[in-house]
Amino acid sequence: MSKGTAVVTGASGGVRQSYAEGLARRGYDLLLVDRQESRIRDIARRLSDATGRKVAIATHDLSDHADLAKLEARLQADQTVTLLANLAGAATFSPFNEISTDDIDQTIAVNITALTRLSRAVAPGFAKRRSGVIVNFASILAFHVWPEFSVYNAAKAFVVAFSQSLQGELRGKDVLVQVVSPPATATAFWQKAGLPHENLPPDAVMRPADLVQGALAGLDKREEWVMPSLADVTRWDAFQKARGELVNGMMSGKLAERYFVPETA
């Protein structure tokens, strides 16, 4: 029995292919989204043969406004969609003064604009049907600023804040909004961004298979926050508590004493 259609963006990447296969083995039919039709068609055929599920493809450039709108319309109209996995990503490793405007636009378009608009395309239907899952891939860099990844850091911080807001809106409507925050992973993503993962401390880099296993296990558990490399989850609880205390401390509406200007005679 089908669990409906799972939409996976950026599906030609190794981690994304494996994640999509994991969804298919859990009973989802697939809609794989990628920019290159020939590449995604071969992947779709392989996944269908391996899992026996229906696997469709959609060729779209998520950084192109008009192309993104076409995918939005398709998802809004498709009542079989029950899961959206926003896995597509873009990044450039560069000092901010040297990064090109094209790279800035690409990072924002894929990581922020597409993720937000595709989430908006499915969320109303999910809420109405009181069922559905939105999976947003963030990054450890949403919580740890790395200067040479300035725009990417900020984009992933947006994913975290946006997703947390959606959780508050949709949790009561039985819609799961899940954030997966992986560490650096041994994939071609880092090479494309301009910083091969081989340049990172080996102990800080996760195997792709472990990332996929953790992400899918978190989905099975219906966790809102999946951090595959975090062994001590009480650290996340402490972070959330500290953030709440910070916000409460800032809501007094009164000027802090350290900013008082001494009166002069």
Q: What are the structural domains of the chain?
A: 5-232 (3.40.50.720)
What is the per-residue pLDDT for 56?
97
Residue 147, pLDDT score: 86
Q: How many angstroms separate the CA atoms of 110 and 130, rounded?
A: 28
CA distance 189 to 200: 13
Report whether 83 contacts 135 (CB < 8 A).
yes
Mean pLDDT calculated for residue range 118-130: 98
**What is the predicted pLDDT for the residue at 197?**
67
Orientation of helix 14-25 relative to helix 37-51, angle to 10°: 30
List of residues 6+ apart from 158 with CB closer than 8 A: 111, 112
Distance in angstroms (rounded) separating the CA atoms of residues 218 and 191: 27
In a 3-state reduction of DSSP, which class is residue 200?
Answer: coil
More confident residue, 152 or 263: 152
Q: Is 0.95 surpassed by the pTM of this model?
A: no
CA–CA distances in Å: residue 210 to residues 144, 150, 180, 183, 219: 21, 27, 13, 11, 14
> Is the pLDDT assigned to residue 203 strictly greater than 80?
no
- If you average pLDDT over residues 6-20, what whole number do you get? 94
Question: Over the chain, what is the mean pLDDT?
Answer: 93
- Give the contacts of 114 (CB within 8 A, at least 6 positions apart): 9, 62, 63, 68, 86, 88
pLDDT at 120 over 90: yes
User: Is there a contact between 43 and 19 (Cβ–Cβ < 8 Å)?
Assistant: no
pLDDT at 114: 98
Buried b (16+ CB within 10 A) or exposed e, 182-198: bbbbbbebbeebebebe
Higher local confidence (pLDDT), 206 or 159: 159
The DSSP secondary-structure symbol of 204 reads G
Give pLDDT tens digits for 98-117.
Answer: 999 999 999 999 999 999 99
* Residues pairing with 59 in the sheet: 34
Query: pLDDT band for position 78 (50/70/90)?
Result: very high
Q: Is 151 helix (H, G, I), strand (E, B) or coil?
A: helix
Mean pLDDT of 15-32: 97
pLDDT cut 70: percent of the chain above it: 96
The whole-angstrom separation of Cα 148 and Cα 240 is: 26
126 — pLDDT class (breaks 50, 70, 90): very high
Local confidence band at 13 (pLDDT 50, 70, 90 cut-offs): confident
Separation CA 191–CA 202 (nearest Å): 15
Of 64-68, 84-88, 195-199, 219-223, the poorest mean pLDDT is in: 195-199
Residues ≥6 apart with Cβ < 8 Å to 102: none
Greater confidence, 195 or 109? Answer: 109
Which pLDDT band holds residue 71 (cuts at 50, 70, 90)?
A: very high
Cβ 114 vs Cβ 88: under 8 Å: yes
